[in-house]
Amino acid sequence: MKQRRSDNPKSTGATRSGKGNVVPERFLVSKGTLRFDRFMTQAIQVGGLVVVLAVFGIFAFILSVIWPLFGGAEAAEGDTMFELEASEGAILGLDDWGELPFVTDGGRELVFHPVDGREPFLREAPLPDGAEVSSLRHDPGAQRIVAGFEDGRAGFFEVRYTMEFEEGRDRRVEVELGGEEWFEVAGGPVHAAAYADGGSNKLLAAVHDGGESGARSGLAVVGFHQQRGLLGGGRIEAMPKEELGHLVGGPIAEILIPATADMIFVATDQCELVFLAQDRGEWTVRQRMRMFDNPETRLKTLGFALGDNSIVAGGSGGEVRVFSLFPPEPGEPRTLGLTKEFPGLSDAPVLFAASRRNKTVFIASENELLIGYTTTETVRWRGSVEPGLAALALNGRGSSAAFLDTAGRMRFFEINDPHPEAGMRAFFSPIWYEGFSGPRFSWQSGGATDDFESKLSITPLIVGSLKGTAYAMLFAMPIAILAAIFTAHVLHPSWKRVIKPTMEIMASLPSVVLGFLAAIWLAPLVEYRMPGVFLMMVGIPIVVVVIGYAWSWLPVHLRSRLPTGLELVLLLPVVLGVGWLCWRLGPVVEQWLFVVEMPDGEKVADFTVWWPQWTGLPFSQRNSFVVGFMMGFAVIPIIFTITEDALSNVPPSLLAASRALGATRWQVISTVVLPVASAGVFSAVMIGLGRAVGETMIVVMATGNTAIMDPSNNLIFGSPFGLGSGEFPLAAQWNPFDGMRTLAANIAVELPEAAQGSTHYRTLFLGAFVLFVMTFALNTVAEVLRQRLREKFKLV
């Protein structure tokens, strides 16, 4: 910058000192310089502020995205209200859209109350003539009302809601009753009936008084078989009626049949849950269990959560318990077990309704409503209802609930719970998902079926990130630091001029290329050569140490012939030779050490089989070992260059001082160079660590990028047959021969598929946030430690 001189000293500002003496012009700073200085100061301040704001902006944005995940449900009462004259015990039903609720008192006629303002209308139920209804049950998922009669008949008819679109008018929900089927099942009145349609087989069960153990102890069952032809359902054929009351052996309170129509869950008056299943065409008791610990407790409500794999039971003491079907040991038939328990209601729960969208369940006592999410065992909302609840029904999405209050009015709740499956528990605690033998940390964000539960534990992703980083650092750190020491303080400086730029080029290698190499070349190459790789890992260091030791015993006059550092270069072919030898010897060692007996008695030497057999942990081709190796390659150049700089910046005077005091080459390095450069080396390691934690492409490519095909399924998704039952073994996460999924890779793979604003989308952002916090914490700790080191070895 050109400095303009002012000819007139007065024009340059304060030219007079305190005593009024004129300051000679040569002592003044030119205006231009001052202006430029001021401008640059401002520019730097503005720039810094913009950066800080940008960081905070990103932070705020991420927070705003993840914030709703941690909120509960909101429920508010709607304006619509119908006065009706229904008595207690009435059944309330609601269509999927929540627009056409109906009430029925005795089941003979259904009264529909359109919420869009149309007049209420009445439909006659297609019941058999002259039969008196003795039990009634509404199955909203199947749009079906199951009825039992005093004369021993039972059956069902359908309440078919349809959405009508007509020109010039809004869409409208219409209803039609029909599809009725009635069967003779019992000799006397039917106290409870249940029906399920499992496709080719259907099942109707009825509780009656004809059993051996008194009233309500008979259980009549009729199975149906429907031939499935090319043209859809064929003829329905009823099987002979069976009496199962003796299997239960007591008065029956409630029965449930899942949609598969191959099991019956019977709850007795004694609060025993009897699980009846068909074993080779024969009904047998698969399991009996007590539902409540307190013998005084009586069963008040019983119902399925979505998917019919979990039974929610409400006890008279206010208990709300969830029993799920799962195999106690891998491969065994499923039995019921208590998997979850909600904090109890203050009063006995009497009403139950399950969402047809997710695992949300509504349980109500007379004055209190609890909305819970069974999977995560969390209460989403709870509140009281005045004057009291008499019936409850949900629409399809679970966004609207209709209820009858004890004053005979029909009222509505609007429920807003966009992220029921999220929450602290879901993300960070082991969750007992349906079908699992125990609580697990599991991530599986999408599935093929409708009743699939997304598993959103980010714990395995965090562990995956740490695992990838740890393996990469384990490999990269010693190599990079030793190489930097060698280049900076052993090798002749002329070599450094070649090595450093080469390493810097390596650092800029796109990680996609490394990931590609790992997936396509390295993983298949080492898959069946693991013993050789082990041998190298052990053999090369040993040979180097032995040669070094032997070298130190050579007479001085032989050693001093070689210029400093060159002897280590001469070691290179030896190392390569040993590496090659180890690689070749690998199969020999495998023959010797890693022999397993196959089921057919044949002995096979194969590490890939041996490892899962001996440790119970899976072996996959694209494993952490490969990822660690390749990620190590991505990290080595970074650690190397920064470490090398730090080591080279150790003042030569200190090196001279230690040499003059008789320190050997290694002593100079270990006692002077490394301590003085420790802060720099530490920074290098931390920067490498940061890169490894956030590394995405290598992990994505080298572990396979599809969630379902992911070889690490067993770990991340807690497969029911991978790791045995019970607690999820976190230690198994560190299996080097298994893959992993890191937070960063997960975001890269799944974010394009996640619908904006969905739970999945927000959870991915939560992953980003955790990554952010992790690196932030790591950097902070690192910076504190680094400052300490700097303070300790500062050179002033």
Partner 1 sequence: MTTSQPEATPTPNSAVGHDPAFIEVERFSFWYGAAQALFDISLEFPERRITAFIGPSGCGKSTLLRNLNRMNDLIDGVRHEGDIRLDGTSLYDPAVEVISLRKRVGMVFQKYNPFPKSIYENIVFPLRVAGRGSRSELDETVERSLRGAALWDEVKDKLHESAYSLSGGQQQRLCIARAIANRPQILLMDEPCAALDPVATLKIEELMMELRKEYTIVIVTHNMQQAGRCSDHTAFFYLGRLIEYAPTLQLFESPAKEQTEAYISGRFS
Backbone angles phi, psi at 85, to 5 degrees: -115, 55
- The strand ranges marked E within 50-189 are 74-83, 91-93, 102-104, 109-112, 121-124, 133-139, 144-149, 153-164, 172-184
Give the separation between CA 710 and CA 692, rounded to whole angstroms.
21
Cβ of residue 793: shortest distance to partner 1, in angstroms?
A: 4
Q: Taking CA 649 as the corner, what is the angle to CA 645 and CA 652, rounded to the nearest 5 degrees?
A: 140
Stretch that binds partner 1, among 5-13, 288-296, 582-590, 655-663 (CB under 8 A): 655-663
Q: Which residues contact 616 (CB under 8 A, 6 or more apart)?
A: 723, 724
Nearer to partner 1, 232 or 555 (CB): 555
The crossing angle, in degrees rounded to 10, of helices 566-593 and 530-553 is 140
795 binds partner 1 (CB under 8 A): yes
Smallest distance from partner 1 to CB 683, Å: 17
The Cα 576–Cα 573 span in angstroms is: 5
Choices 289-297, 473-481, 669-677, 721-729; region in contact with partner 1 by CB under 8 A: 669-677
- The answer for 468, left when phi > 0, alpha when psi is -120 to 50, beta otherwise, is alpha
Question: Exposed, middle or buried: residue 182 (CB in 10 Å: 0-12, 13-18, 19+)?
Answer: middle
DSSP, res 522: I
DSSP letters, 626-684, are: HHHHHHHHHHHHHHHHHHHHHHHTS-HHHHHHHHHTT--HHHIIIIIIHHHHHHHHHHH
Scan for tokens 């730090």, then name that residue.
Answer: 646
Rounded to a whole number of angstroms, the minimum distance from the CB of residue 568 to partner 1 is 7
- Which two tokens mark 643? 């470490």
Q: Is residue 228 within 8 Å of 200, Cβ to Cβ?
A: yes
- Could you give the CA distance from residue 772 to residue 518 in angstroms, rounded to a whole number? 27
Q: Rank residues 35 and 492 by Cβ distance to partner 1 and give the closer one.
A: 492
Part in contact with partner 1 (CB under 8 A); list of ranges 106-114, 457-465, 670-678, 705-713: 670-678
Q: What whole-number distance in Å separates Cα of residue 310 and Cα of residue 322?
A: 6
Does 495 help bind partner 1 (rule: CB under 8 A)? no
Nearer to partner 1, 22 or 545 (CB): 545
**Run of H or E residues at 226:** strand 218-229
Among 278, 316, 658, 775, binds partner 1 (CB under 8 A): 658
Q: Per CB under 8 A, which region of 134-142, 462-470, 667-675, 728-736 contacts partner 1?
A: 667-675
- Rounded to 5 degrees, φ, ψ at 266 are -115, 125
Does residue 424 interact with partner 1 by CB under 8 A?
no
In terms of C-beta density within 10 A (0-12 exposed, 13-18 middle, 19 or more buried), how is residue 305 classed? Answer: buried
| Identified binder of partner 1 from the candidate list 47, 577, 651, 726, rule CB under 8 A | 651
Q: Which is nearer to partner 1, 344 or 675 (CB)?
A: 675
Task: Please report how close the Cβ of residue 506 comes to partner 1 at its closest, in angstroms.
Answer: 23
Cα separation, 407 vs 143, in Å, equals: 27
Note the helical H segments in 604-623: 607-615
Residue 311: phi and psi, rounded to 5, are -110, 130
- Shortest distance, position 610 Cβ to partner 1, whole Å: 34
Contacting partner 1 (CB under 8 A), which of 8, 11, 87, 552?
552
Nearer to partner 1, 171 or 792 (CB): 792
In the complex, the smallest distance separating the C-beta of residue 653 from partner 1, rounded to whole angstroms, is: 4
CA nearest neighbour of 101 among 395, 371, 354, 363: 395
Indicate the residue among 409 and 659 with the shorter CB distance to partner 1: 659
The minimum distance between CB 556 and partner 1, in angstroms, equals 5
**Residues recorded for the chain:** 796
CB of 633 to partner 1, least distance (A): 23
Angle at 162 between CA 161 and CA 164, to 5 degrees: 145
Question: Which residue, 131 or 483, is less far from partner 1 as judged by CB?
Answer: 483
Rank residues 538 and 795 by Cβ distance to partner 1 and give the closer one.
795
Identify the residue among 664, 721, 727, 757 touching partner 1 (CB under 8 A).
Answer: 664
- Site track for partner 1 across 673-712, x = CB under 8 A: --xx------------------------------------
Q: Total residues contacting partner 1 (rule CB under 8 A)?
A: 45
Residue 765 and residue 759: Cα distance in Å, rounded?
A: 10
Nearer to partner 1, 256 or 578 (CB): 578
Is residue 666 involved in binding partner 1 (CB under 8 A)? yes
Q: Give the SS3 label for residue 757.
A: coil
- Does position 23 bind partner 1 by CB under 8 A? no
- Residues 512-551 contacting partner 1, CB under 8 A: 544-545, 547-549, 551
Q: Which is nearer to partner 1, 392 or 669 (CB)?
A: 669
The angle subtended at Cα 48 by Cα 44 and Cα 51, nearest 5°, is 140
Contact range with partner 1 by CB under 8 A, out of 52-60, 456-464, 665-673, 716-724: 665-673
Nearer to partner 1, 328 or 548 (CB): 548
Which range touches partner 1 (CB under 8 A), out of 304-312, 424-432, 461-469, 668-676?
Answer: 668-676
Nearest residue (CB) to partner 1, 660 versus 709: 660
Nearer to partner 1, 27 or 549 (CB): 549
Site for partner 1 in 454-493 (CB under 8 A): 482, 485, 493
CB of 492 to partner 1, least distance (A): 8
Binding region for partner 1 (CB under 8 A) out of 141-149, 193-201, 552-560, 756-764: 552-560
Quick one: 305 or 485, whose CB is closer to partner 1?
485
Residues 553-582 that bind partner 1 (CB under 8 A): 553, 555-561, 567-568
Cα 714 from Cα 611, distance rounded (Å): 15
Binding segment for partner 1 (CB under 8 A), chosen from 68-76, 89-97, 626-634, 666-674, is 666-674
Of the listed pieces 187-195, 252-260, 292-300, 650-658, which binds partner 1 according to CB under 8 A?
A: 650-658
Check residue 725 and report its DSSP letter: S
Task: State how far Cα 450 lies from the chain centre.
Answer: 18
Q: Which is nearer to partner 1, 389 or 672 (CB)?
A: 672
Residues forming contacts to partner 1 in the complex (CB under 8 A) are 482, 485, 493, 544-545, 547-549, 551-553, 555-561, 567-568, 651, 653-654, 656-667, 669, 671-672, 675-676, 792-796
